[in-house]
Amino acid sequence: MVAISNRWHWWFVVNVGLLALALGQLKFDLFNLLLAADSTYLTFVIIGVTCLTTVAMYFKITDAHWFAADAVLSIGMVGTLFGFLMVLGQSFGDIDTSSVASMTEAISTLASGMSTALVTSLVGLIASLWLKLQLVILES
């Protein structure tokens, strides 16, 4: 009887997550926001791994669920590093402080890199927490 109750709790958590994703899409156009904010597209890799892991949990396909929960967080951190590398590697190399166009381009690159860094970290953290919550429910 306990396993059925855990399965229902897990199902509730999955549906709440999917509802939050749907509401984010409807209210904020979430996927286009992610497309604009992440030039590496790692947020979509994170979302894909999270969805596949959730399906694998349902069908009990593999035992690597905890690894996937940590992997999405790690992918988010890789995106953070890519974003910082974009900022540090491209923004300040050929900057001419007397040129408005050069400064504008540097600020644009800076914003793009920081956006990638922050968005991939946030999506990786949320996905990891969501997967770990599912795993704790299923294993309790």
Helix axes 100-139, 2-28, angle to 10 degrees: 160
Six-digit token string for 36: 């604009």
8 Å CB contact between 40 and 79 = yes
For residues 124 and 76, the answer to whether their CB atoms sit within 8 Å is yes
- pLDDT at residue 66 in the model: 94
Q: In this predicted structure, what is the pLDDT of residue 1?
A: 47
Q: How confident is the model at residue 19 (pLDDT cuts 50, 70, 90)?
A: very high
- Alpha-carbon distance 103 to 71, whole Å? 37
Give tens-digit pLDDT for 31-75.
Answer: 999 999 998 999 999 999 999 999 999 888 888 999 999 999 999
The pTM is what?
Answer: 0.86
Domain ranges of the chain: 2-139
